[in-house]
Structure 1
Amino acid sequence: MKTRTVERTRLVPHTIDGRTEMVLDRYTVDVPRPPRDWDRIVLTGVTAAAASIGVASIVWSTASIGDLLARSVPEPAAYAAAAVFDLVWLSCMALEWLARYDQARAALPRRAGYVALAVAMAAVGAHGWISGEIAIGFIGAAVSGLAKAMWTVVLRHHAKPLDPLTQQWVDKQRAEAGGRLAMVAVRRELTRAEQAVTAEHAALSGASPDADPERPESRADRPDDEETPAVTGPMTIADAVRTALSSGITDPDAVLRYVRTVADANAKEASVERYIRSLRTPA
């Protein structure tokens, strides 16, 4: 049996001058070497071969279609456009791979990939026909077809089909996660809309955009902004207290502020409270 050496660590007591501490000790052990996973090695090799075939297909198609298009447009533009043909169906294969656990979603990129492949093969065949090399045109078109077939087989081997019940469970989980993700964008959009409404209202009313008319601050936090009755002329302290109470101002501090505003700036708190008690006491 083959083995391999593995380094491990452990805590061991170590004493110096009568003081013991737990220290880290490194040691090696021989453990059985697992057998080679030939299935994984073969699959990795096949995937690498498919990747190489895909690159070769892109190079061949680009050279062939680029030479065809260069008859009418400058070469840089012709070869840049030629690279699109095989890149499209390869991109569709990548999307098909991403949707390997959802056959319904994978159907569209699969069909689109076949359409793009047919267009690429027709372009390569047209280049051979125009160049007078029909056989080379057919063989060159087969390069893209073989690359597509190779990638299809590899992806089918990697894909793990799900039974109907498991597929429904996966779809529900994906829909729930997608709903939460969608709500992030929706909330962001609603926030922008609310900010726009607030800014528009501020522009029309001349108020500060930070002041939300729908959310006024508590009057207890803004005593200076409390509504006060209109001043009709000079008042005595008693008249001012009577006017404040009749206007619905019941807080003694608010009444005192009103009296000092319209009647006597030096009005005493005790005098105002006495007038309040006398006016509240029924005769």
Structure 2
Amino acid sequence: MRTRTERRERLVPHTIDGETKLVPEPYDVEVPLPPRDWDHIVLTGALAVVAVFLAIVIVWSTSSIGDLLVRTNVSEVIAYAAATGFSLGWIVCMALEWLARYDPARVRRPRAAGHVFLASDMAAVCVHGWLADSLTVGVIGAVLSGGAKGLYTLVLDHQAARLDSRTQQWVTIKRGEIGSRLALGAVRRQLTRVESRAAAEEAALRTASDPNPDRPDPDEDGPDADIVPLPSNTLTTKDAVRIAWDSGLRDKETVARYVGKATGTAPSPETVDRYLRALRVGA
């Protein structure tokens, strides 16, 4: 059995002048080596070969299609940048296939889109070979792209594990539940932002400047000189709901009655309910 030496540490007592302390002491341990995982090694090698093959295909396709697009008198930079899209399209679809390898329903769309992008890439390479009076070279370049796609598909089919019907349904339901939680979180954040903007606009309208600031003051000797005007109520429905919430009120009808007394106007039940939901989410 093969072993390897590992350096570890342990605490040992050490006494000086009658005072003992625990100090770290290094020591070596022989641990057994696990056997080589040849399946993993072979799979890693196959993926490395596919990656190199894809890199070669991207360079070849970009060179051929870029030269084809340059014939239209566009800038070489633009032509070769556009040429990369032919190869990158089906390569991105292959990445999506890998992510959805355990879900046959989700893998169909990226696989079909990948075939469309691959066909466009191969056709462009063949057209370039035909225009360059070397159709054979164009066909060989197109076969390289198809071979890279086929090789990747073989590796993917080997790696993807087929799930039985019940397990697949369980995975689908679980993915839907988690996706719903993520979606609801995003919707709540969006509603909170919209609610904040609406509250800010309402506050801005309530605190708008006087449209006629230069009007003369009323005559102090007039018939209403002894009447002291009451200050306008600046307590909003949202503020009143917040105060009721902080006071421990949770029932919608009780909060609505409090808001009506605090603001002097009967609030809308939907508005009170909306503010209460926002406070529950924030809590």
Q: What is the TM-score when the length of structure 1 is the normalising length? A: 0.71
**1:212 matched to 2:236:** yes
Measure, in 1, the Cα distance between the counterparts of 2:104 and 2:130. 38
1:148 alignment partner in structure 2: 149
Residues 204 and 5 (structure 1), Cα distance of their counterparts in 2 relative to 1, 3 Å cut:
closer
Aligned to 2:237, the other structure's residue is in SS state coil
Shift of 1:207: 7.2
Residues 66 and 23 (structure 1), Cα distance of their counterparts in 2 relative to 1, 3 Å cut:
same
**1:25 matched to 2:25:** yes
Q: Which runs of 4+ in 1 moved over 6 A?
A: none
Aligned to 2:101, the other structure's residue is in SS state coil
Shift of 1:211: 4.6
Shift of 1:158: 2.3
1:118 alignment partner in structure 2: 119
**1:93 matched to 2:94:** yes
Q: CA RMSD in A?
A: 2.6
Shift of 1:65: 0.7
- Between 1:5-14 and 1:133-142, the stretch displaced more is 5-14
1:13 is aligned with what amino acid?
P
Measure, in 2, the Cα distance between the counterparts of 1:40 and 1:211. 68
Measure, in 2, the Cα distance between the counterparts of 1:197 and 1:30. 68
Preserved contact between residue 235 and residue 262 of structure 2 (Cα < 8 Å): no
1:132 alignment partner in structure 2: 133
Once the two structures are superposed, what CA deviation does each residue of 1:48-88 show, in whole Å capped at 9, x if it has no partner? 11101111000000001111111002211111111110100
Shift of 1:33: 2.3
Measure, in 2, the Cα distance between the counterparts of 1:138 and 1:122. 9
Measure, in 2, the Cα distance between the counterparts of 1:64 and 1:140. 9
Shift of 1:134: 1.3
Shift of 1:205: 4.5
Once the two structures are superposed, what CA deviation does each residue of 1:185-214 show, in whole Å capped at 9, x if it has no partner? 211222233234334444555479x95335
Larger Rg: 1
- Between 1:137-146 and 1:1-10, the stretch displaced more is 1-10
Q: 1:1-283 residue pairs with structure 2 within 5 A?
A: 1-72=1-72, 73-206=74-207, 211-216=235-240
Residues 66 and 211 (structure 1), Cα distance of their counterparts in 2 relative to 1, 3 Å cut:
farther
Shift of 1:109: 0.3
Residues 121 and 13 (structure 1), Cα distance of their counterparts in 2 relative to 1, 3 Å cut:
same
1:241 alignment partner in structure 2: none
Measure, in 2, the Cα distance between the counterparts of 1:104 and 1:55. 29
- Between 1:72-81 and 1:14-23, the stretch displaced more is 14-23
Structure 2 gaps, min length 5: 210-233, 248-260, 264-283
Residues 214 and 79 (structure 1), Cα distance of their counterparts in 2 relative to 1, 3 Å cut:
closer
Preserved contact between residue 86 and residue 117 of structure 1 (Cα < 8 Å): yes
Measure, in 1, the Cα distance between the counterparts of 2:4 and 2:32. 6
Aligned length: 222
2:257 alignment partner in structure 1: none
Preserved contact between residue 198 and residue 212 of structure 1 (Cα < 8 Å): no
1:125 is aligned with what amino acid?
C
Shift of 1:163: 1.5
